[in-house]
Structure 1
């Protein structure tokens, strides 16, 4: 972050004049060692500062009023907020308030700026910021990476039958989590309990045509939960795996892929081969035979 200091009235006028000579906001920020937000704020109040300069005999006076300080804090906080969201970093209200307090301390050592909840509400309204639930993986991968992968994927699978192309994905199952919405009689009857964070990781896999679904993989923390007592884990309708965090790992994925491959193994006998030959020969049509003979 650029080192910031308070400009006196004369310095603000010099900044305004240099802007009129063609310097960019960033060049002014670097030259006067203030933030881009502070540069914008000074230029917005150009007429006010020019009038003060012409009527004030003390050109070295630093006129940092409370409103000026709050505006500079807001500009810096918003600039930082936009930069963090561009990196897909979730920013909550308390995080925003804490950063605002840090900026306030750097700009005004009196520590009078508290970044209260009221300030947060006004800040959100002013910059049209809404707090929403961020879910899924839609913002976790760069768009260019997605486009590049799609183009390469088409080349990879073009020679495969759709039946042999599989896709898998994982999700979290918060199996103790209660609904966050409910029918109520009184609009004030909206109190809820503490949300459970108990979860399983679930991986689902199927082929392109949807004709073959592999056993779901469920990953928990315990190798054998108490409720599995007297139960043969191998006979569960899912593949049960475990690790300390209930997360999918390279080792678990490799083991599950191996189980799926073994499930596809077929014990072929000579009799099976005989019947396959017969079925294949019966499936050859007269047209196929004629075309083959004519081509030779």
Structure 2
């Protein structure tokens, strides 16, 4: 009938949904991405496929490759042509470097990224004896655009920078504090920092001997810490520690909830949105509530953050008692309290405590040698020393760093004498000499403290490809995850995908779609990895 709207599958109950054809070249692209180390969820997002579809393609790898071999010669050559191993490795390491820069909120440009890519490519060629190879790489802008597409980096604009954060400036923040009637005890700031937990000053013989040994260097082993406290300086939060192993051998027999840190793991020892959100809900909010009750304060708080990618934008919606404000990008580095020396002072205390630990272990008769002690110095020793170092920071120091962002709350205009960096460096040198490091000088200690904040070098990026030695992972599996079956996990993923489809299909803003998709996938990634591990084990058993 004229004017009658045509019927379609959307309005006819039970109508079959049109199936999306997956061509051979798409299947080969999925397999190529698996071979270079991309995760299942990343591939699904990049190619616009369902996670289950990508998993099916992966499981039928041999059959798909066999089909590609019997294709016409022209088609087969076009579909199976791969870039060189050096190029693939360079892009994978560059992606790691970009994520590290993003974690630390470092501004980037296309030029900086191009220069890093070119230097990585050249170093990889040299390492693999590529001086005689003819492959050239110029890191052009065209390559950068394709690199973004291959590695799904929509959070970088065409100029290479992350989208600007619409955060508040310090003057606006002070009006928020006044309006909310927050006291210095109720205003908090936290920040992430990296720590090479087994690194010694360059000139000391332990460091020199380590460089002479082949393979992965323990001094390259890094962990991430989330440190913070309130503006009054009288309450320091329990540190969150993120390591690349969930169950290192040295933690066997310890109860993680009873550790002096909150222990979490991530393959690259980074804080993710899901880790940060879990910390906010299950650790920060309860800690604030307990602190306010003990000090007869109203249960409310203001949390000030920078706009690091690991800080979810929806934190303020997750608590009725905690307000979250993000500093504007242009102001964050210069005014954020935890960035005004707290992390540097903490690391100086950590190095000092490490030398005290060596002295205690090697002083006296029938004790370990320095080499023997350091060989057995484990991540558990580091955890204990992190706790001691964090406890060393005085309330005066924790309060004094707020003078740039909220000067009215500051009662101590300078850091405590015990937290003075210069004095701490002198103490470290004295301890080192007592331990028999006669060549210890303050310049080496200063360089060590600065090295924790340096960019990942090409050498360190290449060493991330290797498996660290000395701290293997035990076979212990968290009991909460062990109870989930593959059927239950598969059903949960279906619900997540259906919900994500509803959210993204009704959201016109492309940036919001990306943020929502990434946040949800980050949150359930640990369950996807568990599901994949269960499938692999099932195949091995069969």
**Same fold per superposition (TM over 0.5):** no
Task: Specify the structure having the higher radius of gyration (Cα).
Answer: 1
Question: Which protein, 1 or 2, shows the higher relative CO under an 8 Å CA cutoff with sep ≥ 6?
Answer: 2
TM-score tier after normalising by the smaller chain length: 0.3 to 0.5
